[in-house]
């Protein structure tokens, strides 16, 4: 409750799976789920040193982009609007 107003939030989750093998990243997967829907997912492929970024589109499909190296999922708010970007 804030200022006498009760607000119910739907289930949201930020999940990060990370592990190292010696001094190298072996697993680095990140997923942001809002209202029970995955909106952004980043999966790191160690063998090829690439990250696959999957972004949910308004029609429910996912746009995939493969980029070199590891990327980090960054979540911010701007005037009450949640924003997620891969950096």
For 60, which DSSP code?
S
The residue among 48, 41, 52 whose CA lies nearest residue 14 is 41
Is the pLDDT assigned to residue 7 strictly greater than 90?
A: no
Tens digit of each residue's pLDDT (9 = 90 or more) over 13-31: 888 898 998 888 889 999 9
Which residue ranges make up each domain of the chain?
12-86
Are 70 and 28 in contact by the 8 Å Cβ rule? The answer is: yes
Whole-model pTM? 0.77
Mean pLDDT of the chain: 84
């Amino acid at each position: 409750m804030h200022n006498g107003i009760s607000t119910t939030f739907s289930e949201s989750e930020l999940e990060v799976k990370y592990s190292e093998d010696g001094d190298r990243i072996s697993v680095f997967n990140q997923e942001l789920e809002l209202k029970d829907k995955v909106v952004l997912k980043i999966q790191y492929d160690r063998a090829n040193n690439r990250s696959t970024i999957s972004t949910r589109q308004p029609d429910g499909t996912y746009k995939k982009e493969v980029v070199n190296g590891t990327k980090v999922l960054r979540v911010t708010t701007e005037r009450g609007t949640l924003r997620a970007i891969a950096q």
